[in-house]
Structure 1
């Protein structure tokens, strides 16, 4: 029976199969195993059962991975993860393509990480859907999958039963996105904190920044972002943020665009909306109270920004989330 994406619940999404076939990159496989294989303390309602599925031992970078199950076991999984391919010019094994196709046909949610999108494309799962991969390989993916809508400028895409992530760090974002769908924002943020990273970024954020700046412990944004996160209920402005960082609003804007790929105000609005999601999921606060608690000021402002960023109004989000029943 094929599950409907709008009724995902933890019981529906309890088994995650990581496919270990072909020539893989170790980072994406390790990221998926770390996130789905290690429950946070807050996940009292249960966590995922992770399966390593493959035809036999496979070399992943400097390591050798021994799968627990054959590829046929992935057909019964609830979520199937296809890690990155080490060489896109090396055709994926036919048995891997067939396993992905069969799993999706049986109702599994299938997600690719980085160049794993080429496996989904070979299985025909990208036809008529938005997809992404590492920006350096996006043109080739588009050429091989002309019926797919390949977007090289986003971190990940979510078509419901088919999801794709861009390179490396975006794999973390997509995995956290799946946790968010199944368990809610608070649990996803708990996993992110364990990984010592910011809460997962929205999929539409740019994957490539032209002039990246290394964020070290001494970077001006490091303490500023944490300071803002603790004050989302306050009416902060870009001027307030610049004053805290001891810089000008113009320079702050340059730093945000270089490091995060967004303006300070857009980043701040997204953090407010993410906090609103947590409150809508975990409390019975009215929309007006949530607006006040997230620094949005009025329910009208919250509704406008929430719908722009999340895609649905706050009330609809709360009803849908509670109907789906995540942990």
Structure 2
């Protein structure tokens, strides 16, 4: 259960990536019925300003490295540094050994590597830093194309937007879809992008126009329980199948099939949390056709079986409220 978050900041920190951590974990959204986390900003020394990559900006942490102790999550923001003080690395290793999940946003992954936490573990980084990461930490299993990688107690992410995805993924994993949907709604971002999506699309993005696939996407969500061929969707959009597939990738970053599968998994999560429908019934409600296919995609996306997910997150509004109270609401 996620109750406390320590944001570790270092010299040459990237303000935007640090802001992502603060926005997801550090804001009081109790007026929206969301849990308030114990959030603290920690640096090598308390009350000693640190330089940001943006000229003239200083960040002053109100906690030293002792603030990492007891945190459920330690979030390491991006920094231009590649060498780090040994006390910082010792504190990070100690927090991990004590049971904290360690999250890195963008180049914060180099801090994890210097602490030895990436050895033999899958991880990712911004696409322009993966070669440097491999060279500095040859024992790390670097996945160069992914938005984020969840290794349980170690979550790494690529650039700025992928950092948002990773932070929201942790919220969903620890506090459930009701909480992450509330945060995402306030941030005006998608509540979940699939971590296995590519960081960027190789083909050029077509010129912007007034046309959008939003009406088709909305229709797909309203009829998520139905089968949808690319040809039929293209016809609804008034495009050829090839043009539709290209436009779909440009707008969503993925294919129609993968996008629809993700939406079906998201709906199944909500039904597992908020209803007592059987897994077979939920599979049909979400368009999977049967429980076996739901289990396959659910485990691939969420990392656990539907039954295990339901045991963790319960059924109905009372269990959601209980999770919020346990998280410090």
Normalising by structure 2, we get a TM-score of: 0.86
Once the two structures are TM-superposed, the CA of residue 134 in structure 1 deviates from its matched residue by 0.5
Deviates more, 1:164-173 or 1:205-214: 205-214
Unaligned runs of 5+ in 1: 1-8
8 Å contact kept, 1:176–1:188: yes
Deviation of the 1:45 alpha carbon: 6.5
Which of 210, 229, 233 aligns to 1:237? It is 229
Per the alignment, residue 181 of structure 2 pairs with 189
1:67-110 per-residue CA deviation (whole Å, 9 max, x = no partner) reads: 1211221122111100001x25x423333222212211222111
Q: Which residue of 2 aligns with 1:154?
A: 146
Structure 2 unaligned residues grouped into runs of 5+: 325-329
Query: Which SS does the other structure have where 1:76 is aligned?
Result: coil
**Aligned-partner Cα distance in 2 for 1:97–1:144:** 16
1:117 CA displacement: 0.3
Q: Report the equivalent of 1:32.
A: 21
Q: Measured at CA, do residues 212 and 95 of structure 1 come closer, stay the same or move farther in structure 2, by a change above 3 Å?
A: farther
Q: 1:228 deviation in Å?
A: 2.5
Deviations 1:31-57 (A, max 9, x none): 110111225468746331110111221
Larger displacement relative to structure 2 (179-188 or 248-257): 248-257
Supply the distance in 2 between the matched residues of 1:166 and 1:283 (Cα, whole angstroms).
35
Cα contact 1:132–1:166 (8 A) shared by 2:
yes
User: What residue is the counterpart of 1:47 in the other structure?
Assistant: 36
Note the C-alpha offset of 1:312. 3.8
Contact 1:252 1:264 in 2 (8 A): no
User: In structure 2, the residue corresponding to 1:92 is in which secondary structure?
Assistant: coil
RMSD: 2.5
1:168 is matched with 160
Match of 1:281 among 248, 273, 281: 273
- Match of residue 23, structure 1, among 2, 8, 12: 12
Establish whether residue 125 from structure 1 lines up as the match of residue 117 from structure 2: yes
Asked whether 1:319 is paired with 2:311, we answer yes
Q: Alignment partner for residue 305 of structure 1, among 269, 294, 297? A: 297
Tell me the residue number matched to 1:109.
Answer: 101
**Within the alignment, does 1:200 sit opposite 2:192 as a pair?**
yes
Aligned to 1:97: 89
Once structures 1 and 2 are overlaid, which stretch shifts more, 227-236 or 109-118?
227-236
What is the CA–CA distance in structure 2 between the aligned matches of 1:215 and 1:158, rounded to whole Å?
34
The CA distance in 1 between the partners of 2:69 and 2:207, in whole Å, is 41
- Tell me the distance in 2 between the aligned counterparts of 1:108 and 1:228: 39
Mapped contact 1:273–1:305 kept (Cα < 8 A): yes
Aligned to 1:5: none
Which is further off, 173-182 or 250-259? Answer: 250-259
Aligned partner of residue 211 in structure 1, secondary structure: coil
Structure 1 pair 192/244, CA: closer, same or farther in 2 (3 Å)? farther
Structure 2 CA distance for partners of 1:200 and 1:144, relative to 1, 3 Å: same
Name the SS for the 1:305 alignment partner.
helix
The answer to whether the Cα contact below 8 Å between 1:28 and 1:84 also exists between their aligned partners in 2 is yes
* Partner SS for 1:17: strand
Q: Which residue of 1 aligns with 2:70?
A: 76
Q: TM-score, normalised by structure 1?
A: 0.87
Q: Is the 8 A contact 2:5 2:38 kept in 1?
A: yes
Indicate conservation of the 8 Å contact 2:34/2:182, yes or no: no
After superposition, give the CA deviation of every residue in 1:221-262 in whole Å (9 maximum; x if it has no partner). 334333423332344433343233221222111223344342
Q: Helix, strand or coil: the match of 2:133? A: helix
State the aligned residue count. 314
Match of 1:266 among 252, 258, 262: 258
Distance 2:273 2:70 in 1: 30
State the distance in 2 between where 1:39 and 1:289 align. Answer: 37
